[in-house]
């Protein structure tokens, strides 16, 4: 079961204390948590993405990407709180492009984890 970040307080904590990873379609903020699972939050603002149709498509793409890559997340050493912000171009891309972008972010994170150890 996937747990999602819900409240404003959780999002703000990740924004303030987390590490930022920029991609072409999304920006991810991650913060290690002390839980046994990753938690995921999505933002797709009107300013960044556009009208409701585009925002909903961006959210659906990001949710599905997270669902598909959940097994890859378990390869990371730590569990994280994730906040992923959709960028303007995201809704115009197909799911496989979103998944590839997320994989690039995961590899950056895994690389930094291995550098830390």
- Mean pLDDT, the chain, rounded, equals 91
Mean pLDDT of 5-34: 94
- Statement: 3-108 belongs to CATH 3.30.470.10: no
The predicted structure's pLDDT at residue 21? 94
The predicted structure's pLDDT at residue 80? 92
Torsion of CA 14, 78, 23, 108, to 10 degrees: 140
| pTM, rounded to two decimals | 0.89
Domain ranges of the chain: 3-108
- The residues facing 81 across adjacent strands are 31, 39
Element (H, E) at 83: strand 80-86
- The residues facing 28 across adjacent strands are 21, 84
Inter-residue contact 33 to 81 (CB < 8 Å): yes
Q: Helix or strand or coil: residue 25?
A: coil
User: 80-94 pLDDT, tens per residue?
Assistant: 999 999 999 999 999
User: 60-115 pLDDT, tens per residue?
Assistant: 999 999 999 988 888 888 899 999 999 999 999 999 999 999 999 999 988 887 88
Q: Is the pLDDT of residue 116 over 80?
A: no
């Amino acid at each position: 079961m996937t747990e999602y970040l819900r409240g404003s307080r959780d999002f703000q904590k990740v924004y303030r204390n987390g590490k930022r990873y920029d991609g072409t379609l999304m920006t991810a903020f991650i913060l290690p948590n002390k839980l046994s699972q990753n938690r995921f939050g999505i933002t797709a603002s009107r300013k960044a993405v556009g009208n409701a149709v585009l925002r909903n498509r961006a959210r659906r793409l990001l949710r599905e990407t997270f669902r598909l890559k959940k097994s890859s997340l378990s390869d990371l050493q730590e569990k994280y709180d994730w906040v992923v912000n959709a960028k303007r171009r995201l809704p115009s891309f197909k799911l496989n492009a979103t998944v590839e972008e997320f994989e690039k972010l995961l590899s950056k994170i895994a690389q930094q984890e291995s550098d830390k150890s």
